[in-house]
Structure 1
Amino acid sequence: MFAVIETGGKQYKVREGDTLRVEKLDGEPGSDLTIDRVLMVGEGSDVRVGKPTVDGGSVKATIRDQGKGPKVRIFKKKRRKGYTKRQGHRQPYTEIEITGVQG
């Protein structure tokens, strides 16, 4: 059974046993969480689509890791003005493992 979930403003197609990185969620590694924003759930030709979410649909997951992604370098320059600006950013993420899909 698969589900399409929404978290952090993004949508993910997940199945039981999948591991994925999502935008940072609160919680310690090893703790369980439930995602209620299930947009679609089903298997084969038996698919239920929510308006906007599926009633009674939920996805259970376990937090595996909290971390930061690779550094993104930002460089701004205005020609002939002597203006340059350097900046970096590392986006925090949460790595989760899907333990169950209920629809």
Structure 2
Amino acid sequence: MYAIVMCGGKQLKVAQGEQVSVELLTGDVGSTIVLDQVLLVGNGDNISVGAPLLSGAKVNAEVVSHGKGKKVIIFKKRRRQNSRRKNGHRQPNTVIKITGISL
């Protein structure tokens, strides 16, 4: 069984038992969260599609860890002016483990 959920402004395809990295969520490590913005649930040949969301469908997940993503380098340069600026950014994220999908 799999589902497509909205989390952090992105659509993710999740299945039970897998770990997914999403945008930073509030919640302590080990706590349970419920993702209720479910767009699609599929189980073999049975596919339920929402318009845009499925009412009553929920995905339960457990917070595994909080961390940061890969560093993105921002480099700006103006030619012939000896002017340059280098900056870095690491987006905070949360790793969650999908514990259940209910329709």
Q: TM-score band (shorter)? A: over 0.9
2:59 pairs with 1:59 = yes
What TM-score, normalized to structure 1?
A: 0.96
The CA deviation string for residues 3-54 of structure 1, in whole angstroms up to 9 with x for no partner, is: 0001111111111101010010101110000000100002111110001100
Where do 5+ consecutive residues of structure 1 fail to align? Answer: none
Q: Paired residue for 1:11?
A: 11
Task: Measure, in 1, the Cα distance between the counterparts of 2:61 and 2:11.
Answer: 15
Alignment length (residue pairs): 103
| CA distance in structure 2 between the partners assigned to 1:34 and 1:66 by the alignment | 17
How high is the sequence identity, in percent, across the aligned residues? 47
Q: C-alpha distance in 1, partners of 2:64/2:34?
A: 14
Q: Which runs of 5+ in 2 are unaligned?
A: none
Which residue of structure 1 aligns with residue 32 of structure 2?
A: 32
Identify, as 1 or 2, the structure richer in strand.
2
Q: TM-score, normalised by structure 2?
A: 0.96
> Displacement of 1:81 after TM fit?
2.0
Match of 1:86 in 2: 86
Cα separation, 2, equivalents of 1:89 and 1:35: 27
Q: Which moved more, 1:41-50 or 1:88-97?
A: 41-50
Residue identity matched to 1:57 = A
Of the structure 1 ranges 89-98 and 71-80, higher mean CA displacement relative to structure 2 is found in: 71-80
1:100 maps to a residue whose letter is G
| Aligned CA-pair RMSD | 0.8
Alpha-carbon distance in 2 for matches of 1:80, 1:44: 61
Do structure 1's residue 76 and structure 2's residue 79 form an aligned pair? no
Give a deviation string over 1:64-89, Cα, whole Å, max 9, x none. Answer: 00011121111100101222111010
2-side partners of 1:100 and 1:51: how far apart? Answer: 22
Task: Read off the aligned partner of 1:53 and give its amino acid letter.
Answer: L
